[in-house]
Amino acid sequence: MAIRTLGKVTKALLAPALALGATIGLASAPAHAAVWYSSDQWGNTNLGGYTLYNNIWGSGAGAQTIWANSGTNWGVWANHPNTGGIKSYPNSKKVINKSITSLRSLTSNYNVTVPWSGAYNTSYDIWDTDHDYEIMLWVNYTGAVGPLGTWQANVTLGGHTWNVYKGNNGANEVFSFLRTSNSSSGSVDILPVLRWIKDTKHWMGDETIGDVQFGYEITSSSGGMDFRTDNLTVSSS
């Protein structure tokens, strides 16, 4: 299984040290007209309150192009070799900056079209402002991928049933919630997940949630594969 070894904030900081394969270059632009697209390793832009990020951080990566019509309608074409290790996490990010106890709601809708093959997960990646804690919610996953850490529980929270794993990558604690069956569309009530971690398990305190990311953690997509996000929303109060 492809095991997570570094938090994505740490990965970004290590960018100069990453030895990416020579295959990274300019992939073709999306066939349809898009407001923005980028094949740059760290290509990013802000659209409608969301930050889009190409985020090719893993070693041995291939070519990847992200495109967007908005922060909630975007996608990526990726051609990463059939080797182990996570190559990228293209995503759309919404900044929250509220403590768990001050949040009255934190919800999201998602609708994705993903390949039938390859190795990847479609996931939320939720960070506190100090980057001590990373909470991942996998809504679907395919191929040789797996969470960091050990199994802790099977719980129903936020409208979904999850298998929960807890681990540490040397930089931060990682709590991974893997949906027990794959889903391509739906809604997630994120706040009960955070409260369960804080109040039921006592794995963290009243952390300030910095941002909620949603995207595709891609290990392999040999030959070129398309990942598409429609009608993504992240809302808080």
What is the value of pTM for the model shown?
Answer: 0.87
Residue 225 maps to a domain:
yes
The predicted structure's pLDDT at residue 32: 57
Residue 196 maps to a domain:
yes
Residue 168 maps to a domain:
yes
What letter represents residue 69's amino acid? Answer: N
For residue 167, what are the domain limits?
A: 8-236
The predicted structure's pLDDT at residue 5: 34
Residue 3 maps to a domain:
no
Give me the average pLDDT of each 10-residue run along the chain (237 residues): 38 36 41 85 98 97 98 98 97 98 98 98 98 98 97 98 97 98 98 98 98 98 98 97
User: What torsion do the CA atoms of 83, 86, 92, 98 make, to the nearest 10 degrees?
Assistant: 170
d(CA 149, CA 168): 7
Residue 1 maps to a domain:
no
Are 93 and 54 a contacting pair, CB within 8 Å?
A: no
The predicted structure's pLDDT at residue 53: 98
Residue 24 maps to a domain:
yes
CATH number assigned to the domain comprising residue 16: 2.60.120.180
Question: What's the structural domain count of the chain?
Answer: 1
Residue 163 maps to a domain:
yes
